[in-house]
């Protein structure tokens, strides 16, 4: 994800057929606290849904986003759901997570890192 010509952070994934395995989301410290992560995740999941992809999720931040936006739960591949649910006992909102910066993206799947 880029903002003002600077890399703000990626949502990192791997491809497994039509499924995307989401591994982690990272936003640079100087971009945190502005809604970038939520926007990045929302745009990425909307793009995946539009292209008929499903997800296996191992990212804590995406996990929390889906808990707070259950309409995206339909994207979870039921045969390979990933690690969803591991955050339920430890956090009550995305704002509690130090890496969740409330950020967004102009091209969330434009470059793959990791």
Residue span of the structural domain in which 35 resides: 2-96
CATH number of residue 38's parent domain: 3.40.630.30
- Please give the pLDDT value at position 33: 86
Assigned domain for 43 exists? yes
- The answer to whether residue 114 is domain-embedded is no
CB 34 within 8 A of CB 102: yes
Question: Where do we find the tokens 């992809």?
Answer: 53
pLDDT score at 5: 63
Neighbour-count burial of 10, counting CB atoms closer than 10 A to its CB (0-12 exposed, 13-18 middle, 19+ buried)? buried
Number of domains in the chain: 1
Residue 107 maps to a domain = no
The C-alpha atoms of residue 3 and residue 27 are separated, in whole angstroms, by 11
* Phi and psi angles of residue 92, each rounded to the nearest 5 degrees, phi first: -110, -15
Give the pLDDT band of residue 104 (cuts 50, 70, 90): very low
Tell me whether residue 51 is in a domain.
yes
Confidence category of residue 18, pLDDT binned at 50, 70, 90: confident
Residue 88 pLDDT > 90:
no
pTM over 0.85: no
Residue 102 lies in a domain: no
Residue 70 lies in a domain: yes
CB 70 within 8 A of CB 5: no
In angstroms, the CA 20 to CA 34 distance is: 26
* pLDDT band (50, 70, 90) for residue 11: confident
Residue 104 resides in a domain: no
Residue 112 lies in a domain: no
Segment 22-44 shows an average pLDDT of 87
């Amino acid at each position: 994800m880029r903002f003002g010509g600077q890399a703000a952070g990626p949502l990192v994934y791997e491809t497994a057929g039509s499924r995307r395995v989401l591994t982690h989301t990272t936003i640079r410290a100087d971009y945190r606290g502005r809604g970038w992560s939520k926007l990045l995740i929302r745009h990425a999941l909307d793009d995946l849904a539009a292209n008929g992809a499903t997800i296996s999720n191992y990212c804590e931040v995406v996990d929390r986003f889906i808990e707070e936006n259950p309409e995206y739960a339909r994207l979870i591949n039921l045969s390979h759901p990933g690690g969803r649910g591991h955050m339920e006992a430890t956090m009550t909102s995305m704002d509690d997570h130090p890496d969740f910066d409330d950020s967004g993206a102009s091209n969330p799947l434009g470059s793959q890192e990791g």
